[in-house]
Amino acid sequence: MRNIYFPQRKAEYVTSAQIRSMGGQKDMVIERDFGFGIETPGQQKPPGDDSQNTVDIKMKLLTPTRTSELIEALAPQQIVFYRVPIVTPEPVSQETSKHSTTEEASMQPTPAPITKIFGSVSTADIVDAIKAVLAEDEEGARVVLSTDEIYISEEASENTGVEADRLKALGDYEVEIRLKGVDAIPRRVSIRAQETYA
């Protein structure tokens, strides 16, 4: 009662003054009626009961072609997210061994350093950003889009900042919205450094 019925104002506690006003005696026992509200098979519902008066709502879904057209027209070419970068100290470069020459060292490609971010940008974040833009249009609000339809074009690795369905570094990434029955819709996701104020 305390956790369910009382907060919902379906029941209230009876004070001793209320018991006296009901004409009850001091020794009167008040118990819960366990059969209250339970329908029996032969019992008829009162005429004011609206539980049988339900309304079926039929929502007209958009075709994949129309959905694709709306996303092409309304969704921006570049979706920008701001995240706080993780600041790491620069590693101290070790000297090359005595046996290697400077030419051999210059021949080895060094990957460009990536700046990792706190948190990540997931396909769910991308879907939410696209839906927020589409919601401003009456027909665009009816577009149904899920995380299964967002594909990150970059290959997942530590050097690219891509991890399965998440982007974990600053930069620009190519994503595709792949709806069934239509061509993929390319978009660019940019993750930029958020200004921090100390």
Burial of 114 (0-12, 13-18, 19+ CB in 10 A): middle
In this predicted structure, what is the pLDDT of residue 27? 67
Stated pTM of the model: 0.61
- Confidence at 87, pLDDT banded by 50, 70, 90: confident
Please name the residues in contact with 20: beta carbons below 8 A apart, sequence gap of 6 or more. none
Per-residue confidence (pLDDT) for residue 96, from 0 to 100: 47
Is there a contact between 186 and 176 (Cβ–Cβ < 8 Å)? yes
Chain segment 93-103, per-residue pLDDT in tens:
555 444 555 55
- pLDDT for 3 beyond 60: yes
Instruction: Report the sign of the C-alpha dihedral through residues 132, 135, 136, 139, in that order.
Output: positive
Helices (H), 14-117: 16-21, 64-74, 102-107
Rounded Cα distance between 157 and 101, Å, is 30
